[in-house]
Structure 1
């Protein structure tokens, strides 16, 4: 049971993560999982909590980046077509807690590595992915999304940038909706497996929504994101190492 002071710090951490992640079009699932791990919340609560907060923040980020004119349906649809059903399957599956902690720890460390090398690529020539390639990538990310509670965008947007499949803010817009649809599918799969949503979810959701509004509005327009993304990678690395070795 957390003390009132610890609850306040937990809410402040969720609020901060939502600002940072939504500024680059992400829902923040990996960050929320990192915060829950740092506060020693039971691992069984990670996935449903992260998915709930992801849905809230990703919806806000999707709206903000689309309103700013950064969304491309042509780039989005192949990834989403295969990711949604695979995310539902992943959300339905139950992983033993000790295995789950190791898996999520590796996901967090991988996320940290991706964020370290996240850079702007607005000036580079863009080469759209072939549809079959995008379909396969979407399926893999969707399964991983539902299984771990991570919306998938934490991997998709760096992938879009590193492979020159999309520009920075365009990648953020694509990632936001990708996270939203996969988080919904993953949560439905999670509910169907009769696992309960944690009781402290509503307070965390409120903190995440407020942070998501602030981060996505500035991130979709004028807020520089390179520095905060690199700083956030350190938080993910610490949380991932905690899950793997503590």
Structure 2
């Protein structure tokens, strides 16, 4: 519905895609990383539950900031087995890089690209891909498409931020409690 911004996505994706591949390839003990990231996600969720609001003034991020953000979040996406959107979306909203609906549109594409790259790295590292994995990939794609359509056309930014808080709580809990 016209909310997508290639200007925001391309610098993020250019660096995040190769680093998501590296993160997916690496085999690291993740328990401490998962605990810390889960707590960060819970803190992010709290902020969106307590003060959900749509900013009205936005700043154009420097390209170097987008490259750095893409690199860090791409690596985290690969290491944690996520698409990185659970980190990118709150970061972009806090930094006021774009309105909520634009952030959501950019994040959906970011997640898809990093997920494909991370899965490729994971597969090349000779780790076995779970049998149910392809079903989850299909569900994630369909869910992302439905969510982006409904979010861009039917829901207010405040409602989207509250929904984001719920997603962050679930993702944080998964990182903390599910090995």
Match of 1:228 among 158, 163, 167: 163
Query: Structure 2: which 5+ runs fail to align?
Result: none
Per-residue CA deviations over 1:85-134 (Å, capped at 9, x if unaligned) read 11111111111xxx223322332332222233233424x21111111121
Match of 1:105 among 35, 53, 70: 35
The CA deviation at 1:243 is: 4.7
- The 1:190–1:219 alpha-carbon spacing in structure 2 relative to 1, beyond 3 Å, is same
- The 1:112–1:76 alpha-carbon spacing in structure 2 relative to 1, beyond 3 Å, is same
Counterpart in the other structure of 1:121: 54
Per-residue CA deviations over 1:44-65 (Å, capped at 9, x if unaligned) read xxxxxxxxxxxxxxxxxxxxxx
Counterparts of 1:174 and 1:209 in 2: how far apart (Å)?
15
**Does the 8 Å CA contact 2:16/2:73 hold for their aligned counterparts?**
yes
**TM-score, normalised with respect to structure 2:** 0.83
The CA deviation at 1:198 is: 0.7
Counterpart in the other structure of 1:148: 80
- The 1:210–1:160 alpha-carbon spacing in structure 2 relative to 1, beyond 3 Å, is closer
Instruction: Name which one, 1 or 2, has greater alpha-carbon Rg.
Output: 1
Counterpart in the other structure of 1:84: 17
Q: How many residue pairs get matched? A: 173
Range moving further from structure 2, 233-242 or 185-194: 233-242
Give runs of aligned pairs for residues 68-79 of structure 1, distance below 5 A: 68-79=1-12
Query: Structure 1: which 5+ runs fail to align?
Result: 1-67
Find out whether 1:242 has 2:172 as its counterpart: no
**Does the 8 Å CA contact 1:105/1:243 hold for their aligned counterparts?**
no
| Cα RMSD, aligned residues only | 2.2
Per-residue CA deviations over 1:12-52 (Å, capped at 9, x if unaligned) read xxxxxxxxxxxxxxxxxxxxxxxxxxxxxxxxxxxxxxxxx
**TM-score, normalised with respect to structure 1:** 0.63
The CA deviation at 1:149 is: 0.9
